Amino acid sequence: MTIIGARRISYWVSGVLVAASFLAVAVWGLKLGIDFTGGSLMEVEYKNTRPSVVLPDTLMQPVEEKGLILRLPAIDEARHQAILSELRKAGELEEKQFTSIGPTIGAELKRKSVYAIILVFVMIVLYISWAFRQVSRPVASWKYGIATLIALVHDVSIPVGFFAVLGHFYGITVDTLFVTALLTILGFSVHDTIVVFDRIRENLKKFGSREPFENVVEASLRQTIVRSINTSLTVMLVMLALYFFGGASAKLFSLAILIGVFFGTYSSIFIASALVVSWNRWSLRRS
């Protein structure tokens, strides 16, 4: 079976994953961090064994063997020092970080993050439509842009849905670093898709109308699939190292990119080009 010939299976797999992701976000939503809601975050690490500490209005998350992450409403410096003193009663510790963000700034960051993602989507579609403007047969250039947009929605929605599940069951929050991960995923995904589309453009010039469009796309995919997989594996190996050996915030960042790059590579091979072929076949049946 060819890659393009298996596109219905790919559509079903992706459709189920994307639908499950949208459902998870609709039912549970994303658990927003203090970057978006406002509040304070402290990370401390005890020198010896991590003790059992309870503080009012504070969410505590264990980190590795001796660390603690504390999330609480926005506090001033006096309250910050008082909490440190309370924690030190349980043992010697080192404060790794302290961040405090007001609710107004958090709301602004949330709004700007949404704008940034939307802007990236729009600019990518416009760029691909412009880059492939000379490819009008058998598929119009703007259709390559729409196919890329659908693939990008696929690539972003799956990690977002995954983090909605993590937030509901494990209390994992998302912050501006998660938005950075999503933008990174978009960049890698569109890069892979453009490589395939560019090879399609070259092969269309080479074969012209001598080969059916579906065969040209299949040949283009087979010529680029090894490159796409090797490039993504390189990124994923780096993210795996960051996940296992990085800090707590780096783990979530690398996890998001791991999921996004994996499904971004999958969509570049099995979704984006297949959509162009399906669109062309649908247009032929209508004519």
Tell me, yes or no, whether 55 and 82 share the same domain: yes
Tell me, yes or no, whether 54 and 154 share the same domain: no
Tell me, yes or no, whether 20 and 113 share the same domain: yes
Tell me, yes or no, whether 269 and 136 share the same domain: yes
Burial 175-207, CB ≥16 within 10 A → b, else e:
bbebbebbebbbebbbebbbbbbebbbebbeee
Tell me, yes or no, whether 262 and 206 share the same domain: yes
Cα–Cα distance, 188 to 180 (Å, whole number): 12
Among 50, 80, 100, which residue terminates a domain?
100
Tell me, yes or no, whether 143 and 96 share the same domain: no
Q: What percent of the chain has pLDDT over 90?
A: 32
Average pLDDT across the chain, whole number? 87
Cα–Cα distance, 78 to 174 (Å, whole number): 28
Q: What share of the chain is helix, strand, coil (3-state, %, to 5)?
A: 70, 10, 20
Domain count, the chain: 2
- pLDDT at position 105 over 70: no
The predicted-structure confidence for 189-205, as pLDDT tens digits, reads as follows: 888 888 888 888 888 88
- What's 94's domain CATH number? 3.30.70.3400
Among 81, 100, 119, which residue terminates a domain?
100
Cα separation of the two ends of the chain: 28
Would you state the pLDDT for residue 259?
96
Question: Helices 273-286 and 213-245 meet at what angle, rounded to 10?
Answer: 150
Residue 70: give the domain boundaries: 39-100
Would you state the pLDDT for residue 287?
62
Tokens read off for 115: 């704008």
For residues 238-264, give the mean pLDDT: 89
Give yes or no for a contact between 227 and 195, defined as CB atoms under 8 angstroms apart. Answer: yes
Side by side, which strands form the sheet with 93-101?
59-63, 67-72, 39-46, 93-101
For residues 201-220, give the mean pLDDT: 84
- What's 14's domain CATH number? 1.20.1640.10
Tell me, yes or no, whether 68 and 122 share the same domain: no
